[in-house]
Chains A and B, each alone.
Chain A
């Protein structure tokens, strides 16, 4: 982390020392003064925004940055996802991208000096039909050639890895096999947010929570109010006042299209809720991450003993995050198909997050027709997995003024140039 270390290094020795001396830890990040001018304003204090800020500072020496969030850090998708990471994607672009992300996650605890509790526990994608098994075989063969540790395993092998799964043949959704990806796993999503926030703060990045962006200031554009294409961004108007900045990066989810509209940039995004739920804790019994595309469910058990469930996005586009009863009913039914022995476990809490879906299930990253206005949005259901690498690449994009190769396929211009990308085949339930 170089010379810009956080004020106190986290370590076992530190815990011991402060415990003995009854000394408290310093603030994890400052409560910064609100300034009216920055070099870069990043909208969205989630993993993507904070990672972008962190890498702008650490890799490119740009530190006069404000990260603004209308709520608290990690209040959006970063704190609502089910914290699953993997890299067994299907397209070479997807694999390269997520493999880099997994690398960053792997070394993150030490890079950021905060334990993000990456649990490389193995990731199982179940196949319940011939056609699903065919897709698993396909993915395994591609991954094998790409050097990704991923293979199709038999029901007996599945049972050995994850005894709670019912692999008998006479079930409604028999488990015929699974794609097994040992490097996949879970991570403590809040810790990732805090790690990047603390790291960025140490470089002098100002983190403004409870600061809502009300407008994006653009001059000289061809649209109404001088916004839109060929305009130049000059800053943002927030609930705490205006900030002038030549660069504004939209790193939001859920409201990405509304925010971009403020700059006169239209994004091909619809927003759907994705629901999740958690049970009461029990002693750990589920050692792997289990995903079933046919049953629209993925499940893992946290170190605290809770089962965390997620589903696919709700079919209806809405900003309503209140969740539905039907989701919990369908979820429970499907989970009990997979693991009949846990009917007496209880659902403790349900919630929803917002997913910004693009027509090709791929993000929109890089510059926009408004000079100085960048986006890192449209992450659908898998933004968390991609957080670190997105931040790293967006930082390079903003700092160098050119789009790095890794995210070139995701530029906004693809929608008008006919070069859509897609991971739909591999990411039907993308976890």
Chain B
């Protein structure tokens, strides 16, 4: 560690704890507390990567989170910010954008042809010959910047947390700490979020007094109960202060996403030091004044031996002191306030060697420190709707005025001494706490089960803070030469001038054309320089050009943290353990895991048709509807009529979307005077609930209807087969199953297997005599087992989804979404008697009326391949014989165990719908077969004798 400075320099490193790591395969050592970059610099490694386009060597520029030059690959993690990430034992660190190596990079040859590779050059070439473009593209893609993804990276531990603090403070510098402390002292619960590794902000690299003050404030915050989150970033501010915080410091997890509903948000992000634009400004050894001070004072690293300092402010002056304390000789201080300036820097490939001043003199050095001003990171306030305004006197943008629940303090809104910043922070914290208290009071008053509020609502405090002054600062953006504006995108001021000259002369267009500000720091360092250069090119003021809209997140968040613990739930019926224990093969159907079959679906079909079968149909969507206006709702959503359904009655209904396309179907029962139970398709359950709520809430808020989804509250079991009445009869005493007392399409409530409040209705998808029972789920296993016990001699067996699908196809029942599609209007189903055009209105009626009038629509038909052993694929197209003209398609197909032949449902144009029509079916293999349209949809028992028995 040849470039390490002696203690006491290096506040944050622990020299007693040595850490080993590798850099491009070379073994190196650093100290606990080092960032990767500080450790590398301490080892004399000052080139940390290469630039994206020209592959120019790059070194430390800002030595903090936003450093665009020091992203590295660490093990399997790409794009690690080496100037921020703490060194850890065993890290394998390597440079990005280098080929074949950091020291010798072939692509650096691009630098020689740079004048031809102006911004957006790729839009102007590689067009001819067109067939070579893919090859060109392949080469361009090789220049993609960034590290590499290891596709075998396991999903590590990520987590999420919800929080409801009164005040969230973004930024742990003096103002932020003071705000947090004051808010906590005023009784608020406070989260103080700092994206560096310790509180203190710029005090950390300031004077001894500054550092002592930082420690004191940090300790006071902790003592006051402020929740301090370091190495964490307030990443987003969404509607109503919904605040996302990326916490990289939570033990045991890689990154945690905290979602906080802050009653007040305090923006205390300070300022970001701007780089200066001049020729040679990206040479290693050129850095900001903050970078030099951080490296020396925090990490005890010597950034050079002989320095030129270009300063326009106190930070530059302070850097001079820091450099001197590190024993670095000061070759020259160039003071912008005295009218001095620098025009360019030059050096070897790997290091700055000399600086040319505005007066033409040249100074030798290996370190050039610039202190040319500040950028306000207004990003969070932008997300709150604030649009920053430029102040030419202070040479930076300031917030125009965020909403009431967002307050800004510190460097974001002005300048001042440490004490002034702290005083403003305190005032802001008090105001934030006062406003949060009002919100807290209102929330408590509005929450029924909360404790009674204490006293009247406090007054909403007005903003009576004494504003911070804004220090005068020279407008220093670009020297008289051209240099890099966006380091991560390799965009120079010259590129910006030529883009503006070509007409890409608004800030958004130039950004898109040159990609300036689009890189990993999202313009934190680049935006204002881009705006300034554009203003210069357009001969306008910076205020006239304006700035861009900053979008979330403030700092990038890992996909892992956003995803959290990956937990995509599946749903199961309470009977699922029984199914699994009894050999069920599971199938994923939407959200549900269900039994596809228990070994042999064909045998399940035969047993159900011969004896009796039971199937768990719990995923059926079930909505409990209560209220006097339920019939109106049903009448509006279903195509048929519902005003006269008697209590105890069950009716089938079809629903359409407003374009007349079939949306869902199911049966609805009237259980009582104002009480109905609606079933939907399994896949449509959530959709139909939304659909109903949409109608009730937006179109008919006056209707009195309560909608409660009860899909899982009731376990649904269908008992089907000739013995089903006998079986159910053995389990119930209070439901009269006599066919005259309980006919088809009726519902009864009663006790089944001792379980009260069961619902039984006589319907059936399978075509057999069947009862669908809905049992309170807590007792469902008991009922299911009783059915199997009591029905053993009746041949009862469970059957799965596949057997049910076969039986419904044998019966010719269509499935919404399979036999119909996104284009199928209701008349396609052939259920025209259910399409009541004489009703006042129903969803989709006009479209359905038009379709019926024109008659121009396909229809669902049953068909059977002439060769009963061939099962055409569900997708096979039906063609006009001998042509490629599509006239329909097979929508469902199976081998029928009952009929021992293949059976299908199809959609065909009307011309081909007549019974007896021969269809030509194109199999996926390319073979053509013939099939014949059947008279009925039902291939089996078309009269429904079994069902109604």
Contact = CB atoms under 8 A, between A and B. Distances in A.
Contacts of A337: 566, 568
A415 to B, nearest CB: 9
A115 B144 contact: no
A212 interface: no
A281 B158 CA distance: 22
B846 interface: yes
Nearest to A110: B127
Contact of B502 (A28, A129, A140, A428): A28
Interface string B792-821: 000000000000000000000000011001
A31 B126 CA distance: 28
A134 B134 CA distance: 33
Given A11-B125, A337-B566, A342 B559 contact: yes
A191 B123 contact: yes
A11 B124 contact: yes
B558 interface: yes
A344 interface: yes
A115 B658 contact: no
B115 to A, nearest CB: 4
B137 interface: yes
Contact of B244 (A25, A210, A325, A422): A325
Contacts of B789: none
B242 A325 contact: yes
A172 interface: yes
Nearest to B148: A283
B847 A420 contact: yes
Contacts of A74: 509, 512
A341 B149 contact: yes
Contacts of A194: 123, 513
Contacts of A140: 875
A418 interface: yes
A418 B851 contact: yes
A345 B558 contact: yes
B232 to A, nearest CB: 15
A305 B127 contact: no
B156 A418 contact: no
Given A28-B502, A110-B130, A282-B79, A420 B559 contact: no
Contacts of B498: 24-25
Nearest to B558: A346
Nearest to A283: B148
B889 A418 contact: no
Given A304-B515, A346-B79, A359-B658, A164 B123 contact: no
- Interface centre among B254, B551, B873, by most A CB within 10 Å? B551
Interface in A13-46: 14-16, 19-20, 22, 24-31
A172 B851 CA distance: 40
A117 interface: yes
Given A285-B149, A343-B153, A418 B853 contact: yes
Given A342-B149, A425-B822, A426-B822, A348 B122 contact: no
B111 to A, nearest CB: 13
Contacts of A325: 236, 238, 242, 244, 259, 552
What's the dominant secondary structure at chain A's contact region? loop
A418 B823 contact: no
B145 interface: yes
A106 B126 CA distance: 14
B661 A347 contact: no
A331 B929 CA distance: 45
B562 A138 contact: no
Contact of B817 (A24, A107, A131): A131
Given A11-B127, A73-B509, A280 B146 contact: yes
B847 A305 contact: no
A120 B137 CA distance: 10
A419 B854 CA distance: 9
A25 B115 CA distance: 13
B153 A344 contact: yes
A85 B849 CA distance: 36
A329 B79 contact: no
B578 interface: no
A303 B115 contact: no
Interface in A108-137: 109-110, 113-120, 128-131, 134-135, 137
Contacts of B151: 163-164, 285, 339, 341-342
B383 interface: yes
Nearest to B497: A24
A79 interface: yes
Nearest to A309: B559
A402 interface: no
Contacts of A10: 123-125, 127
A284 B661 contact: no
A342 B239 CA distance: 29
A343 B559 contact: yes
A72 interface: yes
A27 B588 contact: no
B553 A350 contact: yes
Contacts of A344: 76-78, 149, 153, 254, 558-560
A18 B553 CA distance: 40
A300 to B, nearest CB: 12
Contacts of A336: 155, 559-560, 563, 566
B817 A328 contact: no
A319 interface: no
Given A110-B127, A346-B556, A305 B146 contact: yes
Interface in A307-333: 315, 320, 322-325, 328-329, 331-333
Given A11-B125, A137-B874, A344-B76, A129 B589 contact: yes
In this complex, the member of B77, B142, B874 whose beta carbon has the largest number of chain A beta carbons within 10 angstroms is B874
Interface in B774-798: none
A107 B509 CA distance: 25
B152 interface: yes
Nearest to B690: A315
B520 A117 contact: no
Interface in B128-160: 128, 130, 133-134, 137, 140-142, 144-156, 158
B886 interface: yes
A322 B142 CA distance: 34
Given A303-B144, A329-B562, A283 B149 contact: yes
B775 to A, nearest CB: 28
Interface in B874-911: 874-877, 879, 884, 886, 889
A284 B823 contact: no
Nearest to B892: A134
Interface string A123-157: 00000111100110110111001000000000000
A337 B566 CA distance: 8
A347 B473 CA distance: 35
A90 B165 CA distance: 51
A128 B590 CA distance: 9
Contact of B156 (A26, A335, A342, A343): A343
Contact of A425 (B553, B556, B821): B821
Nearest to A347: B557
Contacts of A348: 520, 522, 553, 556
B544 to A, nearest CB: 12
Q: Which A-B residue pairs are the 9 nearest by beta carbons?
A: A418-B850, A425-B822, A305-B144, A137-B875, A343-B560, A424-B822, A332-B562, A346-B556, A10-B124
Given A332-B561, A344-B78, A345-B559, 14 more contacts: A10-B123, A10-B124, A16-B116, A138-B889, A141-B875, A141-B877, A194-B123, A280-B556, A282-B79, A346-B558, A347-B559, A348-B520, A349-B522, A349-B553
7 contacts: A31-B503, A117-B133, A135-B821, A141-B875, A280-B78, A282-B146, A325-B244
Interface of A: 10-12, 14-16, 19-20, 22, 24-31, 71-75, 79, 90-91, 106-107, 109-110, 113-120, 128-131, 134-135, 137-138, 140-142, 145, 163-164, 172-174, 188, 190-191, 194, 209-210, 279-285, 302-305, 315, 320, 322-325, 328-329, 331-333, 335-337, 339-351, 359-360, 417-420, 422-426, 428
